[in-house]
Amino acid sequence: MKKYQVDENGFFGKFGGAYVPEILYKCVTDLQNAYRPIMESEEFKSEYESLLKDYVGRPSPLYYAKRMSEKYGCRLYLKREDLNHTGAHKINNTVGQILLARKMGKTRVIAETGAGQHGVATATVCALMNMECEIFMGQTDVQRQHTNVERMRMLGARVHPVTTGNMTLSDACSAAIRDWCCHPENTYYLVGSTMGPHPYPDIVAKMQSVISQELKWQLKEKIGRDYPDYLIACIGGGSNAAGTIYHYIDDDRVKIVLAEAGGKGVDTPYTAATIHCGTEGIIHGARTLVMQTDDGQIEQAFTISAGLDYPGIGPMHADLARKGREKVLAINDDEAIYAGYELTRLEGIIPAIESAHALATLKKLTFKPEDVVVLTVSGRGDKDVETYLKNKAMAKEYGKF
């Protein structure tokens, strides 16, 4: 069977590629040539595996959610990425890429961040590896996510507030790329999701693929077969979703359902649902689906969830969604808030508001009682408690809590 993967030019179908300014050609080509041999080397693998185990805390548990299963009439298992060090799946990727950066002889690391989760995960591994760390973050997000800014600074990173554009994630990405252009020799750009120019979407998907690699043996242990009937994840840039589905993309027995952020609704201007509302274009070095005006200006994304607030989508998902391999649902703010409260009250797990989008799809799907559903809880909700409380009225509309 032919395995689904990126082609030699960095494309997934017609999406992907590396659209970068000339000054970055060498950087990007060096990385394209270096990443596979490094990631396939025994030295990398053993260092990576040992950090995942002892530093991140993997394998993350696969938890049978009994009360939620009863409620939705299926056998629901939660993949607990929320229990990782720093509270989300993002650390799987930063731990791997920092090893890659070191092997490539880079001494300075830059990264973009929206909510600050990727910034914290990057600052964390830079502290661990004694690397210089500079984080680009929109001024709006610096104010909204102050605790994460303090965490990054405590970890030794320099945080640069970005004051161009809407001063959010998309502008932080652009600022990071500009910095990279000025320091191409010594700097490693540590991208936080399955986005950006080739090879980043492939690197990040491979780093996160540990999620589905564990699912194989965990399911075998728990249900006697190594595949589920459904895989569900939320999708911002697409990294936790890519990791969740990676080893099942070619397996037609497995249905894939992803949740993107509908914001106030896909029929309003206040949405981040790129797969529903986007059109083909180029954003941050890749051809993909983009929310843009008719004349190609990038539009601002809106959602209650800072981690899903991106007007693009990873090229792999643009391709898989357009080909029908992924079913993508847009989940609105109120539906996510409700789903977050529901998991909290039924299972005692407060999910990140991003992950709550994935949970909200359960209501919209029809299961058979024997269906095995695996849903990735991408992160924990400690960072979102204020948002949940402030917007509790949204969940009340559904007559609960």
* Catalytic site residue from 69, 239, 305, 378: 378
Q: Does 88 bind ligand PLP (CB under 6 A)?
A: yes
Q: How far is the CB of 105 from ligand PLP (least distance, A)?
A: 27
Stretch that binds ligand PLP, among 7-15, 145-153, 232-240, 268-276 (CB under 6 A): 232-240
Identify whether 90 is a catalytic site residue.
yes
Encoded tokens for 146: 């102050």
366-370 long-range contacts (CB < 8 A, ≥24 apart) are 367/72, 367/73, 367/74, 367/230, 368/73, 368/74, 369/73, 369/74, 369/75, 370/75
Q: Does 312 bind ligand PLP (CB under 6 A)?
A: no
Site string for ligand PLP, 364-383 (x = CB under 6 A): --------------xx----
Q: Give CA angle at 95 (89, 101), nearest 5°.
A: 135
Q: Does 10 bind ligand PLP (CB under 6 A)?
A: no
Measured N-to-C along each axis, helices 200-208 and 315-322 cross at an angle, to the nearest 10 degrees, of 80
Stretch that binds ligand PLP, among 27-35, 276-284, 322-330, 351-359 (CB under 6 A): 351-359
Q: How far is the CB of 241 from ligand PLP (least distance, A)?
A: 6
Is 302 in contact with 271 (CB distance < 8 Å)? Answer: yes
Task: Work out which of 237, 278, 312, 315 binds ligand PLP, going by CB under 6 A.
Answer: 237
How far, in Å, CA of 239 to CA of 214, rounded? 16
Q: Does 285 bind ligand PLP (CB under 6 A)?
A: no
Measured from the Cβ of residue 323, the count of other Cβ atoms closer than 10 Å reads 11
Q: How far is the CB of 53 from ligand PLP (least distance, A)?
A: 21
How far, in Å, CA of 382 to CA of 73, rounded? 29
Task: Work out which of 166, 355, 361, 391 binds ligand PLP, going by CB under 6 A.
Answer: 355
Q: How far is the CB of 271 from ligand PLP (least distance, A)?
A: 16
Encoded tokens for 56: 């991140």
Task: State the number of binding residues for ligand PLP (CB under 6 A).
Answer: 19
Q: How far is the CB of 83 from ligand PLP (least distance, A)?
A: 12
Measured from the Cβ of residue 117, the count of other Cβ atoms closer than 10 Å reads 26
Is the bond leading into 59 cis (omega within 30 degrees of zero)? yes
- B/e letters for 211-236, b = 16+ CB within 10 Å, e = fewer, are bbebbeebbeeeeeeebbbbbbbbbb
Q: In the complex with ligand PLP, which residue's Cβ is closer, 10 or 314?
A: 314
Task: Work out which of 212, 239, 292, 387 binds ligand PLP, going by CB under 6 A.
Answer: 239
Q: Does 206 bind ligand PLP (CB under 6 A)?
A: no
Identify whether 342 is a catalytic site residue.
no
Encoded tokens for 316: 């792999």
Q: Which residues bind ligand PLP (CB under 6 A)?
A: 88, 90, 117, 193, 234-241, 307-308, 352, 354-355, 378-379
**Which sequence positions are flagged as catalytic?**
90, 112, 378
